[in-house]
C-alpha cells in the first residue's frame, strides 16, 4: 500500500470517526430531552426528533410531539447554562384557545367573512374564558362593522372576556385595523366606525 493511500485511508477513518462521535453526542442530547419530558410530564408520552445545532443562538434544539394530544413544540438546551427549555404548556394552551374561539364562529353568519382567527390567554388554558388578545383577519368584502357587532355579541353570549380584539382587513389596496375589547359590545355602529384606522 502506497504512502498516499495510507494517508487517504487515515483521513477517511478520521472523518468517519468525527462524524460518528458527533452523531452519538447529538443522540445523547436527544436522550436528555426524552428524559426531561418523561420526568416533567410522567403521565404523558413524547416523541423527539433528531437533535440539531444552532451555533448563532448557542443551543441544541429539536421538535417534540406529545403522543397523547399530538401537540408539537420546540425543545432546546443552551450551550452555556446546560438548561433545557420547552414550550409544551404554551403550545397546548394556544391550540386550545384557538379551537375554542374558532368553534364559536363556525356556523355563524360572520364565518364566511373571516379568513383567520386566533387568540391567547393565561397559561394553562383551564376553561378558556379569559383571553388577553383575539386577532381576526377579514375578507376584502367583509363588512367590518357587522363582523365586529356580531362577534362582540358571540363572545358575550359565551361569557368570554378579552383585553383586546384586533380586526384587520384590506380594501382598495389599503390595510385597516379596528381595536376593541369585550366591553365594547354596546357600542353603536357610528362608535365602531370611529375605531377603524388605516394603518397602511
- Give residue 12's pLDDT: 63
Q: Is the pLDDT of residue 145 over 50?
A: yes
Q: Is the pLDDT of residue 122 over 90?
A: no
6 membership: H or E segment, kind and range = helix 3-40
Q: Is the pLDDT of residue 20 over 50?
A: no
- Give residue 14's pLDDT: 54
Q: Is the pLDDT of residue 87 over 50?
A: yes
Three-class DSSP category at 98: helix
- Band the pLDDT of 163: cuts 50, 70, 90: very high
- Band the pLDDT of 126: cuts 50, 70, 90: confident
Q: Is the peptide bond between 124 and the residue preceding it cis, with omega within 30 degrees of 0? A: yes
The dotted CATH code for 90-198 is 3.30.300
- Give residue 11's pLDDT: 58
Per-domain boundaries in the chain: 3-86, 90-198
Mean pLDDT of 50-62: 92
Amino acid at each position: 500500500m502506497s504512502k498516499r493511500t495510507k494517508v487517504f485511508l487515515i483521513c477517511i477513518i478520521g472523518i468517519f470517526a468525527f462524524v460518528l462521535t458527533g452523531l452519538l453526542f447529538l443522540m445523547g442530547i436527544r436522550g436528555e430531552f426524552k428524559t426531561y419530558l418523561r420526568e416533567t410530564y410522567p403521565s404523558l408520552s413524547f416523541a423527539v426528533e433528531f437533535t440539531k445545532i444552532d451555533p448563532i443562538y448557542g443551543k441544541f434544539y429539536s421538535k417534540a410531539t406529545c403522543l397523547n394530544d399530538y401537540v408539537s413544540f420546540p425543545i432546546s438546551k443552551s450551550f452555556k447554562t446546560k438548561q433545557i427549555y420547552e414550550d409544551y404548556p404554551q403550545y397546548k394552551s394556544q391550540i386550545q384557545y384557538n379551537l375554542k374561539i374558532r368553534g364559536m364562529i363556525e356556523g355563524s353568519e360572520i364565518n364566511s367573512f373571516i379568513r383567520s382567527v386566533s387568540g391567547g390567554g393565561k397559561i394553562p388554558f383551564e376553561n378558556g374564558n379569559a383571553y388577553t388578545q383575539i386577532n381576526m383577519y377579514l375578507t376584502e368584502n367583509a363588512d367590518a362593522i357587522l363582523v365586529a357587532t356580531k362577534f362582540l355579541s358571540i363572545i358575550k353570549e359565551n361569557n368570554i372576556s378579552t383585553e383586546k380584539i384586533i380586526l384587520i382587513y384590506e380594501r382598495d389596496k389599503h390595510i385597516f385595523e379596528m381595536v376593541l375589547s369585550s366591553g365594547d359590545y354596546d357600542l353603536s355602529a357610528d362608535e365602531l366606525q370611529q375605531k377603524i384606522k388605516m394603518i397602511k
